Amino acid sequence: MIKNITVVGAGAMGNGIAHVFAMSGFQVNLVDISEIALSKAIATITKNLDRMLKKEKIDEAAKNSTLANINTFTDTAEATKDADLVVEAATENVDLKLKIFAQLDEVAPEKAILATNTSSISITRIAAVTGRPEKVIGMHFMNPVPVMKLVEVIRGYSTTDEVTELIMDLSRTLGKVPTEVNDYPGFVANRILMPMINEAIYTLFEGVAGVEEIDTVMKLGMAHPMGPLRLADFIGLDVCLAILNVLHDGFGNPKYAPCPLLVNMVMAGKIGQKAGEGFYKYTAGTKDFVVSPSFK
Ligand code: NAD
């Protein structure tokens, strides 16, 4: 029986994951190395619950019980000692994740399942640093977590059927739609999404069309809610580059080589919405954006 969840990392994804578990009645221990990240996470969860309250999707009691179900920690061992499930959502860095999972294996109860929200790092590689690879699994939520329905459930080489079924059922309990996939570079979501984004960047790089034109074709022509360049800005160009590198290294196929324009933009720090500029330029504190002057 899964009751106690520990979420490691309280950033963009961690706060959303804590939110959805707590709203479904689970006890959530949210842990981060940064006190600031933890207080920002609680502020974000409160703001998102207030928005749901205003839209009458939840009542005041549900808001209060969700917040009451979340406790924050800076000590991973303390946060994990009673966990039935740990969902790791720390920074996308392979060495960091290997270190975190080696520690989780030491401090989490033997029965605990260890899940990672990684976008691209091999589940099998992460599982190999633990003494319980059969209980390590990918639980890949989409951003923003409270809104997006999909959970990509990724089976590592040794993940058991039982653990997979449990995580599939748990995802349904959260009101999500889980999809089971195997552990190969990029899994399914990013293996398909990232080459499309990369091709959109090549299309711009080769002068086939401008930023707005490319996004308009994909929005109106393919009914995508966001064009690929706007989506790349939303995800973060640094994240897109990191995932493309995983695909390129993992398959050894030049078709995944990141576009030189993407590499240049990341080196220049123009990594999208979180930096204020990518393919578009964003006005802080508003929802406004225009095509970046670099592409006019
Ligand atoms: P983020 O940078 O917003 O947050 C990461 C958090 O991890 C930070 O608050 C950081 O302080 C914390 N952290 C770093 N080391 C830690 C440690 N040792 N212990 C505890 N906390 C630690 O990142 P994010 O966008 O929330 O991404 C988190 C994970 O989710 C990554 O693996 C990423 O690939 C994946 N993911 C991201 C998205 C997205 O759209 N942002 C979508 C799906 C999956």
Over 120-153, what HEC string results?
CCCHHHHHCCCCCHHHEEEEEECCCCCCCCEEEE
What residues does CATH 1.10.1040.10 cover in the chain? Answer: 190-295
Residues 6+ apart with CB under 8 A from 31: 6, 7, 8, 9, 10, 72, 73, 74, 75, 76, 79, 80
Atom of ligand 1 nearest to the CA of 91: 5
Atom of ligand 1 nearest to the CA of 13: 26
Protein residue with least CA distance to atom 38, ligand 1: 143
Cα–Cα distances in angstroms (integers) from residue 50 to residues 13, 67, 145, 155, 282, in the given order: 19, 11, 16, 36, 25
37 CB near ligand 1 (under 6 Å): yes
Fold held by 4-182 = Rossmann fold (3.40.50)
Indicate the Cα dihedral angle 151, 11, 97, 199, nearest 10°: 60
10 CB near ligand 1 (under 6 Å): yes
Q: How much helix, strand and coil, in percent to the nearest 5, is found in the chain?
A: 50, 15, 35
Task: Please state, in angstroms and rounded to a whole number, the distance separating the CA atoms of residues 107 and 273.
Answer: 37
Instruction: Extract the tokens encoding 275.
Output: 């930096």
pLDDT confidence of residue 285: 85
- Residue 2: CB atoms within 10 A of its CB come to 16
144 CB near ligand 1 (under 6 Å): no
Task: Please state, in angstroms and rounded to a whole number, the distance separating the CA atoms of residues 170 and 180.
Answer: 13
Which class would CATH give 190-295? mainly alpha
Q: List residues with catalytic annotation.
A: 119, 140, 152, 190
pTM: 0.93
pLDDT confidence of residue 92: 87
Expressed in angstroms and rounded, the spacing between residue 8 Cα and the centre of ligand 1 is 8
Task: Please state, in angstroms and rounded to a whole number, the distance separating the CA atoms of residues 136 and 160.
Answer: 9
13 CB near ligand 1 (under 6 Å): yes
Expressed in angstroms and rounded, the spacing between residue 73 Cα and the centre of ligand 1 is 16
69 CB near ligand 1 (under 6 Å): no
For a pocket test of ligand 1, which of 19, 32, 154 has the largest count of ligand atoms closer than 8 A to its C-beta? 32
What residues does CATH 3.40.50.720 cover in the chain? Answer: 4-182
100 CB near ligand 1 (under 6 Å): yes
Q: Are 174 and 145 in contact (CB under 8 A)?
A: no
Tell me which residue of 152, 160, 151 sits closest to 127, measured CA to CA: 160
Ranges of the chain whose pLDDT falls below 70 = none
Protein residue with least CA distance to atom 3, ligand 1: 11
Consecutive H or E run containing 36? helix 35-54
116 CB near ligand 1 (under 6 Å): no
For strand 280-282 and strand 289-291, is the pairing parallel, antiparallel, or unpaired?
antiparallel
List beta partners, residue 162: none
96 CB near ligand 1 (under 6 Å): yes
For a pocket test of ligand 1, which of 13, 95, 147, 191 has the largest count of ligand atoms closer than 8 A to its C-beta? 13
Helix 189-205 × helix 211-222 angle, to 10° = 140
Expressed in angstroms and rounded, the spacing between residue 166 Cα and the centre of ligand 1 is 24
